[in-house]
A and B are shown apart, each in its own frame.
Chain A
Amino acid sequence: MANMDPKALRSRVENISTIPTIPSVLKQLSAIIENPKISLNEISHFVSQDPALTTKILQMVNSALYGFPGRISSVNHAVMLLGLNVVKGLLLSVSVFEIMHKAMIGLREHSIGVAIASKVLGRKKGLKEPEEVFVAGLLHDVGKVILTLAWPEEYEKTVKDAEAAGIAIFDAERSHFSETHAAVAGWLAEKWHFPRKLCECIANHHRPQVSTLAPLETAIVHTADVIVKARGIGYSGDRLVPGVNPGAWETLGLSEADLREILKELEDSVEQTEEEFRA
Chain B
Amino acid sequence: MPDSEKNQNEKISVEELLRFKRAERPDQAFWDKFDRELHQRMMQTLVKKGPWPVQILRGLSTRLAQTGAIVGVAAALAVMVVRPAFFATNEAGNFEMAAVDASESVQSEEPGRSFDPVVAQADYATEVVRVSSTGLDSSITPEYRHDDIVLVNYEREAYAADFELPGFAASGVASIVY
Same assembly: no
- Chain B residues at the A interface, C-beta cutoff of 8 Å: none
